[in-house]
Structure formats: C-alpha cells, structure tokens
C-alpha cells in the first residue's frame, strides 16, 4: 500500500496568512516533517508525530518523509512561504528522481503558499508590479558566477529582483557582491527594500538607495527586493513612503542601459 | 477624515486558497471594488456596496476607490492571485503618485495572496525550484521588444519563466513570438506548462516540449511556465509526471548557452 506525501506552504509566518487548504493538509497527516522553526509554528495533535530537523538536512529529511509515505503513511512536509520557491518541493522531486521506484508510486500533493517576496512587496507598496525575478543568493548549490550573470541580466533588462537567502554566517560577502553587480546597471537612487518578518507583528521594512545598500543590513530571515530602473518612491506626509514599479515601460524614461547608472 | 483602502489578493480562485487575512480585509470594507469575475467570487453582506468593473478600466477603478477612501470610507480593492503581481497594487500606486494630496493621506494596506504561477507550479511539481522570473506578456503598456529581451536574458542565464497574460483576442501572436525567442536559447525538450484554473476543480495542466509549444494552447486565464535548461521530467507509472527544476546548477550539464539548443 502506498501513502501520501503532502508538501505544504505555511506562508511568511503569520497565522493569518496560512490558507485553509494548507491547514487542512497539515491536519490530515500522521507525520509532520520540516525545518525546526516551521514545525514549531504548528499545534500538532497527540496522534501526530512531528519530525523537526536542521536546515542543512534537506535531502535526509526528504528521504525520511518519502520512506514513510512509501510504506503507506500519510506524511506532511511543511515549508515557510511557498514550498516551490527555494524550499522543499524541489528537494523532494530531486529525491524521487534519484530514488527507488517506490518513491514514484507515492501520491504527491503540493499546496502553495504566500512566498516571502510577495509579503515584503505588499508591506512596501508594489515594487514587483512590473516584470521581476527571484534569485536565491546561496552559492551552496550553484557557482556565484551564474548568480552574478542573472543579477546583471535582470538589472540590465529592467526587471526588479527579489533575493532569497541573501546572507548567512558561511556566506558573508555574496549580498554585497550582488549589490555591486546591480550598481553597474542601475541608478544610485534605485530603492532596495530589506524585508524581515513581513506580515508579522515584529515586521521590519527598511528601504535605502542602492548606493547605500550593504550586506550587513540583511540577515538569514531577510528577503531583499532591488527595484528596477523605473521603480519609484511616493513620499506621504505622516506615512511610510510607497515603493512601486509602474506597470508601463516608457522607452524614453525606462531605458535600463548601463548609461542610466549616473 | 481620511479613510482606508485595502488592496486584497484572493488567490488563484479556490476558496481554500484565500488567506484568513484576505477574508478579514474584505469583511471590514463598506465598498468593494474589482474586476467583475473577482468581485463575483465574494458573498457581500447587504451593508456592503460592490463596484464591479471591466478589466480595461484599471485606472478609473483605482481613482473611484481612492476618491471614496479620501472621503473617509473603508474601501476594498480585490485582485485575483496576489495584488502586487500584474494586478491592482501598482495601478493604485501610480494613481496616488499622479493624484491629489488627498490620495497620499489615505491609509493603504496591501494583503498578499497566492499568485497564479505558484499554484500552477504546485500542480506540476516544482518547476520554479531554482531561480526564475515572472513576465507579463501584454504589450499594452510596454513595447514587445523589451519583453523579448527579458525572455532571452532569462532563458540564456538559466532561469525558468512564468508568463502572465500570455494571450488575448487583441494580442494573438505575442506568446508564439516569446516561444520563438526561448527556442533560440533552450533545448527542444524543455518542458512548457500551460496551467489553467490551478487549484480549482476545473484545473487543467498540460505539459509539452518547447518545440511543440503553441500560443493556441493558452487563453487569457492561462499562466504559462517555461522551464530552464535544467528542468526535468520524472515519469511515474499510473501518475502524472513531475516537472521540476533542480536546486543545483552544474556548470557541466547546466550551461544555458545558445549552443545547448540542440
């Protein structure tokens, strides 16, 4: 008998941002796997077994969950944000791809969630209102050179960028290097948003011009949004400014060529 | 007295994907604005006034909502998916930016939602598991040349792409042109996912190789995901294949150079 593995996005961290579907999927599982801080958000029933693990153990966690599901169990794997964006869905697909036939027989369900960049963007205004990309700044699984090529390509063609996993103790310089690359293509005043705990009571949203952006302004739990050449700031008396990227692209004012970087 | 304008993401269309926060925001409004199919998803109370409008009237809708909020009303603007991704949040920010001071005084709240590409990706596996971008294929507000530069830049640097608004009666050829551009940089077998009504009972997910992808496979309500050079298909006996993009980038196998397009 084959079981079921449900990969669930819990959203950015606030209870109010967990979809009913995600909640139902957690409720039906007998076993719940996930990185410690994500499983700690849940209130499991006594009949549910929680398997928390460290964030560097993604493939072990995927195998353990697939093994149980292949033996007929109803298993949940929880991620923060959306499970398909730099989270467990790809790790589980890789594990199935490389694994025994029994893994392919498991019923696999992925439940989407609100990913961090959407929560940070909402807190700031609409910085992702035009074409944009999402780049994982961790070079644990890819060379930093390809990250820099992507940052350059997006900045040059006028796309805003959301940086996930911008910095960690073992990756202290990558975010500064990404800002340096962006500075080759974007004006000094381009807004950079550092969003931490978006949507939660402890939310911190800080916006600085690209010329002032520094890696030390982020930590592991920060999602960084770098505007495009067209991203604007609307000052509002007595309120936080709005940061947004217009829907339109004017070939006159919106040229994202290096010469715009004055 | 200044009112409040709440811009709300209702998610991809299923009730089960609306966050509690979005539901609460709809409940507290006296006036609800939105494109007809979105406001029709709601069950307004008798004391709530619903202002549905056509999808080509975004700026009129934004102004009408801001005018009411500036007069002290509690106003909601609903979008499908996430309001910050090719939806009303940027249109409202533009209107505030260009509008009277009274618009700047309005309390503005943006509530994120599950955007279409995340629901389509979840239904297919994890095609957005590596760096990716989101591109609005409509050339109503930007020249098609910049869209093609972005498609080329993303395909060439190994990012998967989600195409929003891929086609309409007045924009019949743009999606085919985008596929043609992608074909210059990506292998013929690159998976292309056409996702319609993801997460709803009428969900349709169709995957074809890039060489076979045609604009006519999409309609206005489709979100199209084009894989990167590393995107893989896992065949599963008796189940739909999984489409995923590995988290890692191997400089040997994952070179997204034009010469890979064999």
A56 phi, psi to nearest 5 deg: -95, 10
- β-bridge pairing B132-136 and A132-136: antiparallel
pLDDT in tens, chain B (262 residues): 789 999 999 999 999 999 999 999 999 999 999 999 999 999 999 999 999 998 878 999 999 999 999 999 999 999 999 999 999 999 999 999 999 999 999 999 999 999 999 999 999 999 999 999 999 999 999 999 999 999 999 999 999 999 999 999 999 999 999 999 999 999 999 999 999 998 888 999 999 999 999 999 999 999 999 999 999 999 999 999 999 999 999 866 554 443 333 3
**CB pair distance less than 8 Å for B122 and A15:** no
Which chain B positions have a beta carbon within 8 Å of A90's beta carbon? Answer: 126, 129-130, 244-247
**Chain B: residue whose CA lies nearest to A107:** B239
Give the mean model confidence (pLDDT) for residues A247-261: 59
- β-bridge pairing B4-9 and B74-79: parallel
DSSP reduced 3-state for B146: helix
Query: Burial of A65 by CB count in 10 Å (0-12 exposed, 13-18 middle, 19+ buried)?
Result: buried
Listed in sequence order, the residues at least 6 apart from B67 whose beta carbon sits closer than 8 Å to its beta carbon are none
* Spatial distance between the Cα atoms of B15 and B37, rounded to a whole number of angstroms: 14
Q: Which residue has the tokens 């929003």?
A: B164
**CB pair distance less than 8 Å for B246 and A90:** yes
Q: What is the pLDDT of residue B251?
A: 66
Judged by phi (left if over 0) then psi (alpha if -120 to 50, else beta), residue A197 lies in left
**Looking at this predicted complex, what is its ipTM?**
0.96
Chain A contact for B158 (CB, 8 A cutoff):
yes
**Chain B: residue whose CA lies nearest to A141:** B248
| Contact yes or no for A114/B19 (Cβ under 8 A) | yes
Write the CA distances from A184 to A6, A8, A163, integer angstroms.
43, 39, 17
Largest CA distance in chain A: 64
Of the candidates B20, B247, A37, the one whose C-alpha atom is nearest the C-alpha of residue B11 is: B20
Give the mean model confidence (pLDDT) for residues A184-211: 95
The DSSP annotation for A106-150 comes to: SEEEEE----HHHHHHHHHEETTSSSEEEEE---SSS-HHHHHHH
The DSSP annotation for B68-89 comes to: HHHTT-EEEEEESB-TTSSSHH
Q: What is the pLDDT of residue A256?
A: 43
Chain A contact for B142 (CB, 8 A cutoff):
yes
The per-residue pLDDT for range A6-54, each reduced to its tens digit, is 999 999 999 999 999 999 999 999 999 999 999 999 999 999 999 999 8
In the stretch 26-45 of chain A, residues with CB closer than 8 A to chain B read none
Structure tokens at B53: 């409008």
Instruction: Kindly tell me if the per-residue pLDDT of A262 is higher than 60.
Output: no
Give the mean model confidence (pLDDT) for residues A144-153: 98
| Contact yes or no for A221/B134 (Cβ under 8 A) | no
Residue A254: pLDDT band (50, 70, 90) is low
Question: Which domains are assigned to chain A?
Answer: 4-114 (3.40.1010.10), 117-260 (3.30.950.10)
Q: What is the pLDDT of residue B252?
A: 63
* Spatial distance between the Cα atoms of B39 and B88, rounded to a whole number of angstroms: 13
Chain B contact for A126 (CB, 8 A cutoff):
yes
Interface test with B, best of A93, A120, A242 (most B CBs within 10 A): A93
Q: What is the pLDDT of residue B250?
A: 82
Strands lying side by side in the sheet with A204-209: A204-209, A191-196, A222-226, A160-164, A132-136, B132-136, B160-164, B222-226, B191-196, B204-209
**Residue B251 is nearest to which of A83, A92, A143, comparing CB atoms?**
A143
Write the CA distances from B152 to A154, B127, B147, B149, B195, integer angstroms.
11, 18, 9, 5, 22
Residue A1: pLDDT band (50, 70, 90) is confident
| Contact yes or no for A159/A234 (Cβ under 8 A) | no
DSSP reduced 3-state for A240: strand
CB atoms within 10 A of CB A255: 15
Q: CA of B93 to nearest chain A CA: how many angstroms apart? A: 7
Structure tokens at B218: 């999409």
Task: Return the sign of the alpha-carbon dihedral for residues A198, B132, A35, B17.
Answer: positive
* Spatial distance between the Cα atoms of A36 and A40, rounded to a whole number of angstroms: 6
| Beta partners for residue B124, in sequence order | none
| Contact yes or no for A114/A120 (Cβ under 8 A) | no
Q: What is the pLDDT of residue A252?
A: 63
Structure tokens at B101: 């001071």
* Spatial distance between the Cα atoms of A122 and A136, rounded to a whole number of angstroms: 20
* Spatial distance between the Cα atoms of B209 and A132, rounded to a whole number of angstroms: 24
A167-171, A181-185, B53-57: which has the minimum mean pLDDT?
B53-57
Of the candidates B2, B129, B82, the one whose C-alpha atom is nearest the C-alpha of residue A126 is: B82
Q: What is the pLDDT of residue B261?
A: 37
pLDDT > 90 in chain A, percent: 90
* Spatial distance between the Cα atoms of B18 and B146, rounded to a whole number of angstroms: 34
Q: Which residue has the tokens 């992507």?
A: A150
């Amino acid at each position: 008998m084959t079981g079921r593995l449900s990969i669930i996005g819990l959203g950015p961290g606030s209870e109010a941002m967990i979809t009913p579907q995600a909640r139902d999927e957690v409720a039906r599982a007998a076993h719940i796997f996930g990185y410690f801080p994500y499983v700690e958000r849940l209130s499991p029933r006594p009949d549910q077994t929680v398997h928390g693990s460290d964030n560097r153990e993604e493939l072990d966690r995927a195998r353990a969950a697939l093994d149980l599901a292949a033996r007929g169990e109803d298993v949940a794997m929880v991620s923060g944000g959306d499970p398909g964006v730099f989270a467990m869905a790809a790790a589980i697909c890789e594990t199935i791809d490389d694994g025994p036939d029994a893994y392919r027989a498991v019923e696999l369900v992925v439940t989407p969630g609100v990913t961090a960049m959407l929560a940070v963007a909402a807190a700031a205004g609409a910085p992702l209102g035009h074409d944009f990309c999402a780049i994982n700044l961790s070079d644990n699984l890819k060379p930093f050179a390809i990250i820099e090529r992507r940052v350059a390509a997006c900045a040059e063609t006028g796309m805003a960028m959301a940086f996930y996993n911008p910095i960690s103790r073992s990756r202290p310089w990558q975010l500064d290097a990404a800002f340096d690359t962006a500075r080759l293509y974007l004006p000094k005043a381009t807004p950079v948003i550092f969003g931490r705990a978006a949507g939660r009571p402890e939310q911190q949203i800080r916006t600085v011009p690209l010329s002032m952006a520094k890696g030390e302004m982020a930590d592991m739990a920060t999602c960084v949004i770098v505007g495009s050449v067209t991203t604007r700031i609307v000052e509002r008396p007595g309120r936080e400014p709005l940061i947004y990227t217009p829907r339109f692209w004017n070939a006159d004012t919106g040229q994202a060529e290096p010469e715009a970087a004055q």
